[in-house]
């Protein structure tokens, strides 16, 4: 067989394998956040009619195109995102194959393909649910450590134990650096105050282990408000009531996740069904960044090392700033604050994989003094 044909065959293999893995990632993205097992049900199913999809209608990318993005059973729309995830994974698998072949680092392919899968799954879950599951972050960190033990060259080392050590340094430095950013952000932006004139109606309603909190018609889950045990939600109220009984002498309500602090006493929320009244002002706790992002950068560091951590955080911040500015200029200021940081970290890590060292060398060239010519 002609050498060019052999190369093309392997490139096609990498692309097709990426598409197949992308199809599996769609399952991960859909199922993990809602608590479904990856093997139960074993087959993919339509998100509308729940009919299981036979393998003949579940060919990566091809089936979506042939069925025109619709379920063959009920005709419901199948989101373009499913096709996009498969195509993106296929393209990135091919890019990494070509890059490793050119650099003579074919033994890096499996770790890098694994990391790409983690980055894609984390990105789309974060966009949909504003979370990055521990199965991806903590599990991914463990896998990155094992890869670095088996292939120490990932960390620029020859000793297997040194590879593991530097992988742990990458994970630890990423975790500590972004944890520091989270803590600094909490100090600077950890509270948001809202005022209502005239006072607005509010109601807290217990729902099993969680609760629904509604203010002026806007509803949210209680668990989404509190990230830490010490977080407080403080309300200046009028005519507050608990289970339809007036809270005499209490106008300032200080809520923790599990209890309501009143003058002289605490009331545990699992003993109440409702708390309601009118609110004049409210101070809501908030985080500058989620701890899922902290664990996510640790996972990236375990695969790519501490230099990649610094590059990833820096480039993610730059990409996020540019994206936010673009949305603001486009008149979508609210949308700029609703994009989680995880996808920017994933883009930064991908940028490092594809061209990180070259970009650093190019950037450093701006600061090198030019030698005079004689």
Provide φ and ψ at 325, rounded to 5°.
-65, -40
- Model confidence at 49, pLDDT cuts 50, 70, 90, reads confident
Question: pLDDT averaged over the chain?
Answer: 87
Contacts of 307 by beta carbon, 8 Å cutoff, 6+ apart: none
Cα separation of 285 and 171, whole Å?
29
- Kindly report which listed range (34-38, 99-103, 309-313, 337-341) carries the lowest average pLDDT score: 337-341
- Model confidence at 68, pLDDT cuts 50, 70, 90, reads confident
Q: Does the pLDDT value for residue 198 go beyond 70?
A: yes
pLDDT at res. 310: 94
Q: What is the pLDDT of residues 239-287, one digit of tens each?
A: 999 998 998 878 899 999 999 998 888 999 999 999 999 999 999 988 7
Q: Does the pLDDT value for residue 292 go beyond 70?
A: yes
CB-based burial label for 360 (10 Å; 0-12, 13-18, 19+): middle
Q: Does the pLDDT value for residue 337 go beyond 60?
A: no
H/E stretch holding 197: strand 191-207
Q: Does the pLDDT value for residue 2 go beyond 60?
A: no
Report, as an integer, the average pLDDT of 347-352.
96
Q: What angle do CA 193, 217, 188 make, to 5 degrees?
A: 20
Closest CA to 282 of 196, 186, 223: 196
Q: CA end-to-end span of the chain, whole Å?
A: 55
Helix axes 134-150, 160-189, angle to 10 degrees: 150
CB-based burial label for 167 (10 Å; 0-12, 13-18, 19+): buried
pTM: 0.83
Q: What is the pLDDT of residues 158-168, one digit of tens each?
A: 999 999 999 99
Beta strands 233-242 and 218-221 are unpaired
> Is pLDDT larger for residue 34 or for residue 292?
292
pLDDT at res. 186: 80
| The token pair that represents 307 in the structure block | 């230099």
């Amino acid at each position: 067989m002609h050498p060019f044909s052999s190369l093309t065959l392997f490139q096609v293999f990498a692309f097709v394998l990426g598409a197949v893995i992308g199809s599996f990632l769609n399952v991960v993205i859909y199922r993990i956040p809602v608590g479904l097992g990856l093997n139960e049900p074993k087959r993919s199913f339509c998100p509308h009619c729940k009919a299981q999809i036979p393998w003949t209608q579940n060919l990566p990318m091809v089936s979506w195109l042939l069925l025109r993005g619709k379920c063959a059973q009920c005709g419901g729309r199948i989101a373009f995102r499913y096709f996009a995830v498969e195509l993106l994974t296929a393209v990135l698998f091919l890019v990494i194959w070509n890059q490793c072949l050119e650099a003579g680092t074919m033994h890096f392919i499996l770790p890098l393909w694994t990391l790409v899968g983690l980055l894609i799954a984390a990105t789309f879950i974060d966009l949909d649910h504003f979370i990055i599951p521990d199965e991806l972050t903590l599990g991914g960190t463990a896998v990155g450590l094992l890869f670095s033990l088996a292939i120490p060259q990932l960390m620029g080392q020859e000793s297997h134990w040194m590879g593991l050590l530097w992988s742990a340094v990458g994970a630890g430095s990423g975790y500590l650096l972004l944890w520091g950013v989270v803590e600094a952000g909490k100090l600077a932006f950890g509270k948001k105050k809202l005022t209502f004139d005239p006072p607005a109606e509010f109601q807290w309603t217990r729902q099993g282990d969680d609760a629904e909190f509604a203010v002026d018609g806007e509803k949210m889950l209680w668990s989404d408000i509190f990230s830490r045990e010490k977080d407080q939600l403080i309300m200046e109220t009028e005519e507050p009531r608990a289970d339809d009984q007036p809270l005499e002498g209490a106008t300032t309500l200080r809520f923790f996740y599990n209890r309501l602090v009143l003058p002289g006493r605490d009331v545990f929320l699992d003993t109440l069904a409702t708390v309601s009244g009118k609110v004049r002002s409210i101070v809501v706790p908030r985080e500058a960044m989620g701890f899922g992002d902290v664990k996510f950068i640790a996972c990236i560091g375990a695969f790519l090392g501490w230099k990649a951590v610094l590059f990833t955080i820096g480039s993610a911040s730059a990409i996020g700033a540019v994206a936010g500015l673009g949305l603001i200029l486009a008149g979508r200021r609210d949308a700029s604050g609703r994009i989680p940081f995880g996808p920017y970290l994933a883009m930064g890590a991908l940028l490092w994989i594809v061209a990180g060292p070259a970009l650093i060398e190019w950037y450093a060239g701006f600061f090198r003094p030019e030698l005079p010519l004689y």
